Structure 1
């Protein structure tokens, strides 16, 4: 049995950014200890996704892992760390550590890895509707963007 938090009571304690994040992520909220083990993994993904969304507008910086600047794998590392999961530093290392999925098996909060010739060069967090939260490149900011390539792998953080 899943213990769900009623959003109106949560909103009375949440700030505007949290409200917008909840709306953007559209995931059920689970009370601590209220989810069975299978759903607990999903709550980590939901927390990581909402953390990434909350960093919207943070500037890209090569090698940065937050809390105010990120590169692509720094954003995923930071987001999952806030959700209680550890990831290695680079996109390729993160891909190597995840459970690999088919496109049809992907869920919100899974990692999306962009590859060329078998080498992973970029990572983001799947937000649903074929979009990811990511920190794309120098001069850009953390943003929600449509997946632009078919050369992607999906991975679930364990």
Structure 2
């Protein structure tokens, strides 16, 4: 009987070795690093500091840093411009590799000179300093004046604004 058990274990060992050599090894699914958050920020402030001083400030309630992007809940950015302080806020935003910021869900851009622009989505190109609603509808307010339209483009450096399909209610003050 002892001899049979010995042969059983030898057969089992030999069978395991053959199975390990001939069968395909267990494969795991590789997850791309760009889809896994690397850092999480909660209630944060971010400052852009240059030789001139603080150029802009960013706020958010929560941010997740991925390999090539940063997603932000309730982002708010403030920047000093020739027209005064410019503020842009939204419910959600994504910053992609120092090239653009995509804001969506109740986007509002305002300046100290009483200009306010509202849209559901807005893209800010960091290189050209251009805000764009990318074909989406917008509402712009300047004092009592109201302008609605589509495809707004606002050049931050020059302050020029272009849009399509506009409808405006302009109020003139009595002098």
What is the TM-score with the length of structure 2 in the denominator?
Answer: 0.24
If each structure's strand is expressed as a fraction of its own residues, which one has the higher value?
Answer: 2
More helix by share: 1
Q: Per chain length, whose mean CA-contact separation is higher, i.e. which structure has more relative contact order (CA < 8 Å, sep 6+)?
A: 1
Q: TM-score, normalised by structure 1?
A: 0.26
